[in-house]
Structure formats: structure tokens, C-alpha cells
Amino acid sequence: MPTTKSLYGRRLPGYAIATAIVLTAAIALAFFYAPIEADQGFSQKIFYIHVPLAIVTLGGFVFGGIFGIQYLRSGDTRHDLRSYTAIHQGLIFCIGALITGCIWAKAAWGQWWVWDEPTLVSFLIVFLLYCTYQPLRFSIEDPERQARYAAVFAVVAGVFVPVNFIAVRLASPLIHPRVLSSSGDSLPGEMRIAFYSALVGVALLFITICKYEMASKHSRAQLAALRRSLSDENDEPAAVRTAAPRIAIK
């Protein structure tokens, strides 16, 4: 059976170092290189945290659906673990995006939340939708049924995310600024460099944390299998004792 390191821990130190370097550079660029926005002033700097968090969140949810499809096609529990981890970390990053968004809204609009703004409300709906993922998953005791139902949820919800995003982009009126437009000139050069650096840094952070979580859960599954093997060594056939453990997500 492949080791935890070969499956999930591969190049983890490299990812962690790259994440630290890129995030540090992005913060330095955002605070010391990118100019201060004329209307909002220094409070606009939170844009370099909020927007990458939101983008990576939605990307994580979509990848959760893609891994769900792969699990339904192959039955490989590694895809189930990847789908779960992408959605789990996506929820955490989503909370960060909502918090930073509220702080930015208070500084820019004088209100923590604006309920008639489609972008804000749709993002909240996506968050609440994915909040039902874990209760649904862990309400099912059988591991195979649990993984299958969770994969179906991940696929359906993953399709909803881009459809919802497109619908919101077409909505009118919009209070929320569109910082990235098809024309490509919505950000000055210095801001664009800082923004894309932050986006890469947050994406690397997401990948690194996901890899750490998958390695941890796989190690836990291996340890549980070893304990079962030792406790049942005299009672179970050899074929059962040597079978690869299923990765139970808890």
C-alpha cells in the first residue's frame, strides 16, 4: 500500500515555503507598492485579501465537485478524500471572505451588509448551501453510502457555483465593484501586480492546507487499520488482515 507521504505528503515542505514567500511578497506589494485608492483610501487594501479569498473559495467548491465526479466514476476513496478536503477548506476560506467583506463594506459603505446587493447575497447563499455538506455526510454511518451521497452533493453544488456567479454578473443594479472586467483595464498596473501575487499566495495556501489535511486523515486511517489488525490478529483470515484500509473521514 502506498505510504502517506507518497500519496499526500509529497513536496509539502516545498509548498509551505513557497506559500510563505509568495504571501509575504504579496503583503509587501499590497501595502508598500500598490497605490492608495483615491476614493476609499487605505481601507481599500483589504481588497488584496478579500477578493483572492473569495475566488479561491469558489474554486475549491468547484474542485470538490470535480473530485466527486471522479469518485463516482472510479470508486477510489482518494478522490472522496480530495473532494471532502476541498469543500472543508473552501468553507473555512469562505468564512474569511465573508468577514473581510463585511469589514470592507463597513469602511466603504458605512454598513456591515447590504441585502439588496446580488453579489453579497449570492455568496452568502453559496456558503449556507455548503454548510449543509458535513451534516449530510456525517448523518450517514455506512462509509460507502456516505461517500457516494457526499459526492452527488458535491457535484450538484459544484455546478451551481459557476451558474450562480454568471447570473450575478448579469444582474442589475450592482453596488459591489467589479474589480476584474473583460476589458482588463479595471486595475492599474501596480494594483494588478499586487492582486495577482495575493491570488497566487492564497491559492498556494489553500493547496498546502489541503495537502496537510489529507496527509493527516490518511495517517489516522492507517493507524486505525494497524490497531484493528493487531487486535484481531488471531481471529481474522490473513487476506482480511492485509487488506488496504478504507480512508474514513471524520
Question: How many CA within 13 A on the CB side of residue 96?
Answer: 20
Percent of the chain exceeding pLDDT 90 equals 42
C-alpha cell at 214: 489529507
What is the per-residue pLDDT across 78-117, written as a single tens digit (0 to 9) for each?
899 999 999 999 999 999 999 998 988 888 788 888 887 7
From 8-12, 82-86, 211-215, 244-248, the region with the lowest mean pLDDT: 244-248
Does any domain span residue 244? Answer: no
- Identify the residue whose cell numbers are 451588509: 113
What is the per-residue pLDDT across 141-196, written as a single tens digit (0 to 9) for each?
888 999 999 999 999 999 988 887 777 677 655 555 555 554 445 677 888 899 99
Does any domain span residue 28? Answer: yes
Does any domain span residue 45? Answer: yes
The arithmetic mean of pLDDT across residues 237-249, rounded, is 54
- Number of structural domains found in the chain: 1
Does any domain span residue 122? Answer: yes
Q: Which domain holds residue 46?
A: 4-220
pLDDT (0 to 100) of residue 188:
74
Does any domain span residue 136? Answer: yes
Does any domain span residue 225? Answer: no
Does any domain span residue 188? Answer: yes
Q: What angle do CA 234, 237, 242 make, to 5 degrees?
A: 100
Does any domain span residue 82? Answer: yes
- The kind and range of the H/E element at 66 are helix 47-74
Q: Coil, strand or helix: which one is 106?
A: helix
The arithmetic mean of pLDDT across residues 32-49, rounded, is 80
Single pTM value for the model: 0.82
250 pLDDT exceeds 70?
Answer: no
Read out DSSP for 171-235? -S---S---S-TTS-SS-HHHHHHHHHHHHHHHHHHHHHHHHHHHHHHHHHHHHHHHHHHHTTTT
